[in-house]
Each structure stands twice: as structure tokens, then as C-alpha cells.
């Protein structure tokens, strides 16, 4: 351990400094926690994705290919299994994948690196939030084995009170995952406030940090409400407390209000870090300064704030007053403005830039296109008159998959490919990366665009069977889902290949100007040998030049450095 920072042994890094299993499971190192989050969320993503393939296969034929009436089973009993499958798909994807996949895994991996810090502010809290996530996932698995939930991921009362499945275990697991999310949010807010290196003012921060900061605010401010709501749901089922049960004088609509008060801001927990990644990738691969830095920074905060005031647009058709509908509709349109500001700023950044179409940039371009489709269909749904028609149809399914898959997951994959050389120290096969990205882009569109059409034609969501006239669209959508599966298998192949056989990555393979590219790939246990001093702009690429001999970029100026106040060896707080 003492040899970590000795400069003449550069091969010792955070991955190989201590190889015991205990050193991983009890680590307080943000990078290792990030890797563990990455593995956990990707496992959850695999399970959720497989459930999606089951759903799409079921919908190949109008009566249902997998779950349908047989000699031994009524169609009612068979379709209940379909309900369980789509519920699990929704719960896993929303609570275990989309919310932590960027913030907790990539955020943990790179936030202290972007800040030039040795760790996040509260490393123990960080490990605790990881284990809360694991415990929550374990409870969800228990619930699934004992009797998988069939309520839909929204747990609407009164059905979630009456359902005979293991709702309490599932909801309890989500409460734990919620606490994990709160602690991650607190950790990152404090890290960004208190751990910035000398010279890094708020407006010299990389935009990724602005995005994460806005996300963390939502996590801290919205998640407690879902916590108390789901706790009330548990009490409702176990103690019949009657808050959400009309039979006991309660109000089911109150549950919906509470639920969406969290769950609408939660979609911004998912999309803001995605936008934050794009704001890093686009300038780096355009070799051009980001356009409108302050606008991008403040639009993140604007999205976070307005996002709290739009939850009523999920409830246009459940008896909300017309005045409230109008206000929520207006605020919903408003939230589209800062989102569009970001899109225009990325486009303006690319304009007249020297664009390199490497894999991360291809993902960023896919994101911009897919997110625009998803965002615009969201505006369509924000119109009250249209929402009354389209509510609970496949149009809604298509819309949020464009935003969540085409937005969050595509941006996550962009970030994963962007920082992969940094935290694994290996380069993946660039050609395979590009082919896979294009294939995935095609797959996403083939899957979800037909859903927009079939929804506009009136096909309701969550049905296990459908009218024969919708079949062509459903087949197209299923083919798209299979294309995505192939793309993901290819990706798993070349990424795993890179870990074992990949070329060694240079410190700065893409020519980024932010701090994480100034340290080694993979970084040492303490990230930086000296606390960096930030005086230059982190989007100024004029001094970052390609060096043929190392296959990566180097800074032509020598950035000034400061000596650390205490050498890291003096205070070895963790291993």
C-alpha cells in the first residue's frame, strides 16, 4: 500500500493495488465502488432487458405467443404472468438501472477525477449507499421468487393494496434503493461544494459536474417523498391504515399525487446526467469550445426546478380540475425550453468544429436525435386535449422509451465508451464500437417508432393481447428489440475482449481537456499525485495535441501544480 504513490512504479493502480476480495467488498475507494455499481446496474440491465425481449416475443401474435390460454390455464391466469413480466421490467429498469446507472456508477468513477480530488466527501456513506442498493435489489429478488408483483411499476392503489403478490417486499426494496439514491445525492452535492481544487470556480467546472449537481438536488429533494409514500403503502397492506384506501375514507388519488411528485422529477434524475455526459463528449470530439457554457449549466438547474412542478400531467384524465390541468400543461411546455436550449448549444458546439466520429461521439449524435424525438413526443403528450386521447396507449410507451432508452441508456453507453479507457486502462475495438452503435441506433428506432404509430391508432399499453390490425407494427417493434439484443451481445463481446486482450490505453486517448485526462489510465489509488491547480478553461483544446509516439493526446503547456497540504501517505484513511 505504501508503494502506491511512488512514481517509478507506475503500473500500480487502483485496480491492482490490492487484489483480495475483501479489499473490493469493503473498499472506500470511489473508483472501486463505481466499478461495483457498474457491474450491479449492468446485471440489472441484463435482467430487465431479457424481460423486455419476453414482452416483445409475447406480442408477436395478437393472442400472445408465450402467455395465452391453454387446456390447463385460463387466459386470465396466463395474462397475469404477462402483467408480472412487464411490471418487473418496469421496476428493474426504472429503480435499479436508469436512476443509478449514470449517477452512481459513472458518477462515482469520474466525479472526484474531474475535481482533482482524492475521493468523494463521504467515502463510508458512499459504500453504505452501494450496500443499500444491493439490499434493496435482494429484497426485490425475494419478492420476485415468492410471488412477482403484477401492479405495474407505478403501484397504483387500490390494486396494489388488493394484489396477492409480494408487493411489500418489492416496495421495501425500492425504499432502500431510494435511500441509496439520497445518500449518493448528498455525497455528490457536498463533494462538488467542498472538494473543488484551488482555482476551479463554479463556472470553471466541467459541465458534467453541473449536470450531476442538478441531479443530486432532485435526488435529495424528491426521493424522501417516494420513501414515505411507499412506506405508507406497506402500512396500508399490513396495518390497513386507510390513507390510500377509499373503503377506509382514504384517497387513491393522493397516492398518485405523491407517487408522481417523486416519479416525475425522477425522470430528470435519469436524463440530466445523460445530458451532462453529452456536454462532455460533444466539445471533446468537435475539438471546439463548448457553446454557451452558462446556458447549459443553468438549464440543468432550470430543468431540476421546473421538473418539480409538472407531476400533474400524469393525471390529466383522473378527475383533476381543469384549472390544475391547464397549469400543469403550461409548466410541462416550459420544461421543454431548457431541454431545447441544451440541444441547440450542442449543435452550435459542433458547428464548424473538427468532428471526429469515434464511438462516444456516435452515441452523442444518436442521443441528440433520439432525445429530440422523445422530447417532442413529450410535448405532444403535455397538451391536455391530445393526452386525453393518447393516455395509456403505446404512444406513451414509445415516448418514454425514446427518452429513457434513446436518451439515458444511449448517453450512458456514450459515457461508458468515453471513460472506458480511463478506468480500465484498455482500448476497445473502435470499428466494432462504431458498428454496434449504428446497429443499436437502428434497433431503437425500429423498436419504438412503430409504437408511436400504433399508439396513435389506439392500441392501449400493458395489454397481453391485441387486435389483429396492429400486428404489423408489433412485429416490426419485436424485430427492433432483437436487433438491440444482437447489438448488446456484440458490445459485451468487444468490451470483455478489451479487458483481457485490449491495447493499453494512453492517458488521454480522446484529447479531453478536463482533469481526469491528466492522470494515469487507470488512475492510481489516490487519483492524483499532487492536487491540481486549475487556471485554464477545461474546454480549451488549443494546448491539447496528438502525440504519435504514445497514440494519445498530451498537453503542450505544463499545467501548474501545487504541493498537497499533507502527502497522501501521511493520512491513509482507507485501503
Partner 1 sequence: MSEALQVAANPEVVKKHLAHHFDTMQQQFDAGKLGMWLFLSTEVLLFSGLFCAYGVYRALHPQIFQFAGEYLDPISGLINTLILLTSGFTMALGVRFAHTGNRKGLSICLILTMLGGFGFLGIHGYEYFAKYRARLLWGTNYHPSVGPDHQKLLPPAGLLKPLARPAPVEVAPWHNLKILKKQGFNVAHSSLTPAPVGPAGIVAKLKRKAPIGPYSQPNNVQIFFGAYFLMTGLHSIHVIIGIILMLWLLIRNIRGDFGPSYFAPVEFVGLYWGIVDMVWMFLFPLLYLAH
Q: Which residues of the chain form contacts with partner 1 (CB under 8 A)?
A: 112, 117-123, 125, 158, 161-162, 182, 185-187, 189-191, 193-195, 220-221, 223-225, 227-229, 232, 235, 239-243, 245-251, 254, 258, 526, 531, 564-566, 568, 571-574
215: left (phi over 0), alpha (psi -120 to 50) or beta: alpha
Distance CA 412, CA 548 (A): 30
Nearer to partner 1, 15 or 232 (CB): 232
> What is the enclosing helix (H) or strand (E) of 183?
helix 167-194
Question: What is the smallest separation between the CB atom of 221 and partner 1, expressed in angstroms?
Answer: 6
Nearer to partner 1, 191 or 286 (CB): 191
Distance CA 179, CA 185 (A): 10
Cell 435482467 locates to: 47
Question: What is the smallest separation between the CB atom of 323 and partner 1, expressed in angstroms?
Answer: 17
Residue 93 phi/psi, 5-degree rounding, is -65, -40
- Nearest 10 degrees: Cα torsion 345, 350, 353, 359: 130
Q: Which residues contact 112 (CB under 8 A, 6 or more apart)?
A: 30, 118, 119, 120, 191, 195, 527
Distance CA 460, CA 446 (A): 19
Nearer to partner 1, 125 or 134 (CB): 125
Nearer to partner 1, 183 or 494 (CB): 183
Distance CA 317, CA 325 (A): 9
Nearer to partner 1, 182 or 404 (CB): 182
Distance CA 286, CA 270 (A): 25
Nearer to partner 1, 288 or 314 (CB): 314
Taking every pair of Cα atoms in the chain, the longest distance, rounded to a whole number of angstroms, is: 77
Question: What is the smallest separation between the CB atom of 27 and partner 1, expressed in angstroms?
Answer: 14
CA nearest to 33, candidates 140, 120, 97: 120
Nearer to partner 1, 240 or 356 (CB): 240
Cis omega (within 30 of 0) on the bond before 336? no
Question: What is the smallest separation between the CB atom of 252 and partner 1, expressed in angstroms?
Answer: 11
Residue 372 grid coordinates: 429530440
Question: What is the smallest separation between the CB atom of 483 and partner 1, expressed in angstroms?
Answer: 42
Question: What is the smallest separation between the CB atom of 151 and partner 1, expressed in angstroms?
Answer: 14
Nearer to partner 1, 239 or 558 (CB): 239
Please write down the HEC assignment for all residues of 411-444: HHHHHHHHHHHHHHCEECCHHHHHHHHHHHHHHH
Nearer to partner 1, 239 or 322 (CB): 239
Question: What is the smallest separation between the CB atom of 150 and partner 1, expressed in angstroms?
Answer: 16
Q: Which residues contact 83 (CB under 8 A, 6 or more apart)?
A: 150, 152, 462, 464
Q: Which residues contact 327 (CB under 8 A, 6 or more apart)?
A: 312
Instruction: Indicate the burial class of 364 (C-beta count within 10 angstroms; 0-12, 13-18, 19 or more).
Output: buried
Nearer to partner 1, 120 or 139 (CB): 120
Question: What is the smallest separation between the CB atom of 248 and partner 1, expressed in angstroms?
Answer: 5
Question: What is the smallest separation between the CB atom of 173 and partner 1, expressed in angstroms?
Answer: 18
Question: What is the smallest separation between the CB atom of 201 and partner 1, expressed in angstroms?
Answer: 17
Residue 554 grid coordinates: 498530451
Amino acid at each position: 500500500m505504501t508503494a502506491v504513490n511512488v512514481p517509478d512504479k507506475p503500473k500500480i493502480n487502483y485496480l491492482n493495488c490490492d487484489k483480495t476480495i475483501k479489499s473490493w467488498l469493503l473498499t472506500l475507494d470511489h473508483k472501486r465502488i463505481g466499478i461495483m455499481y457498474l457491474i450491479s446496474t449492468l446485471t440489472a440491465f441484463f435482467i430487465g432487458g431479457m424481460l423486455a425481449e419476453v414482452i416483445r416475443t409475447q406480442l408477436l401474435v395478437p393472442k400472445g405467443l408465450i402467455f395465452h390460454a391453454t387446456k390447463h390455464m385460463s387466459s386470465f391466469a396466463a395474462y397475469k404472468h404477462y402483467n408480472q413480466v412487464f411490471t418487473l421490467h418496469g421496476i428493474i429498469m426504472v429503480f435499479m438501472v436508469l436512476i443509478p446507472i449514470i449517477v452512481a456508477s459513472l458518477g462515482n468513477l469520474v466525479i472526484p477525477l474531474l475535481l482533482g480530488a482524492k475521493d468523494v466527501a463521504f467515502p463510508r456513506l458512499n459504500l453504505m449507499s452501494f450496500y443499500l442498493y444491493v439490499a434493496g435489489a435482494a429484497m426485490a429478488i425475494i419478492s420476485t421468487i415468492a410471488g412477482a408483483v403484477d401492479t405495474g411499476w407505478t403501484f397504483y392503489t387500490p390494486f396494489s393494496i388488493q394484489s396477492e403478490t409480494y408487493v411489500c417486499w418489492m416496495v421495501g426494496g425500492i425504499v432502500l434503493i431510494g435511500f441509496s439514491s439520497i445518500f449518493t445525492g448528498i455525497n455528490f452535492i457536498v463533494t462538488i461544494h467542498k472538494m473543488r481544487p484551488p482555482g476551479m470556480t463554479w463556472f470553471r467546472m466541467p459541465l458534467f459536474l453541473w449536470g450531476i449537481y442538478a441531479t443530486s438536488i432532485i435526488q435529495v429533494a424528491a426521493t424522501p417523498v417516494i420513501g414515505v409514500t411507499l412506506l405508507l403503502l406497506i402500512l396500508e397492506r399490513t396495518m390497513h391504515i386507510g390513507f390510500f384506501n377509499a373503503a377506509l375514507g382514504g384517497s387513491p388519488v393522493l397516492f398518485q399525487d405523491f407517487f408522481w411528485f417523486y416519479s416525475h422529477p425522477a425522470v430528470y434524475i435519469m436524463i440530466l446526467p445523460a445530458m451532462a455526459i453529452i456536454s462532455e463528449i460533444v466539445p471533446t470530439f468537435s475539438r471546439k469550445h463548448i457553446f454557451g457554457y452558462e446556458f447549459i449549466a443553468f438549464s440543468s438547474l432550470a430543468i431540476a426546478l421546473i421538473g418539480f412542478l409538472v407531476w400533474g400531467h400524469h393525471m390529466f384524465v383522473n378527475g383533476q380540475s381543469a384549472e390544475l390541468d391547464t397549469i400543469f400543461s403550461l409548466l410541462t411546455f416550459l420544461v421543454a425550453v431548457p431541454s431545447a436550449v441544451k440541444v441547440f448549444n450542442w449543435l452550435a458546439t459542433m458547428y464548424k468544429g473538427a468532428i471526429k466520429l469515434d464511438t462516444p461521439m456516435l452515441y452523442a449524435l444518436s442521443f441528440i436525435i433520439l432525445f429530440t424525438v422523445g422530447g417532442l413526443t413529450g410535448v405532444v403528450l403535455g397538451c391536455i386535449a391530445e393526452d386525453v386521447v393518447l393516455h395509456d396507449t403505446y404512444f406513451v410507451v414509445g415516448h418514454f422509451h425514446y427518452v429513457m432508452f434513446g436518451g439515458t441508456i444511449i448517453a450512458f453507453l456514450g459515457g461508458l465508451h468515453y471513460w472506458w479507457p480511463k478506468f480500465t486502462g484498455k482500448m476497445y475495438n473502435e470499428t466494432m464500437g462504431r458498428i454496434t452503435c449504428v446497429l443499436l441506433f437502428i434497433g431503437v428506432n425500429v423498436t419504438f417508432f412503430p409504437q408511436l404509430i400504433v399508439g396513435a391508432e389506439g392500441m392501449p399499453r400493458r395489454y397481453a393481447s391485441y387486435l389483429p390490425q396492429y400486428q404489423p407494427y408489433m412485429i416490426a417493434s419485436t424485430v427492433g428489440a432483437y436487433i438491440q439484443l444482437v447489438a448488446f451481445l456484440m458490445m459485451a463481446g468487444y468490451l470483455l475482449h478489451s479487458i483481457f486482450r485490449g491495447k493499453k490505453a494512453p492517458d488521454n486517448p480522446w484529447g479531453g481537456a478536463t482533469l481526469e485526462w491528466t492522470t494515469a489510465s487507470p488512475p492510481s489509488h489516490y487519483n492524483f499525485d499532487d492536487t491540481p491547480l486549475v487556471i485554464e478553461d477545461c474546454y480549451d483544446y488549443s494546448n491539447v495535441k496528438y502525440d504519435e509516439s504514445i497514440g494519445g493526446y498530451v498537453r503542450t503547456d505544463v499545467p501548474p501544480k501545487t504541493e498537497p497540504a499533507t502527502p497522501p501517505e501521511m493520512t491513509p484513511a482507507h485501503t
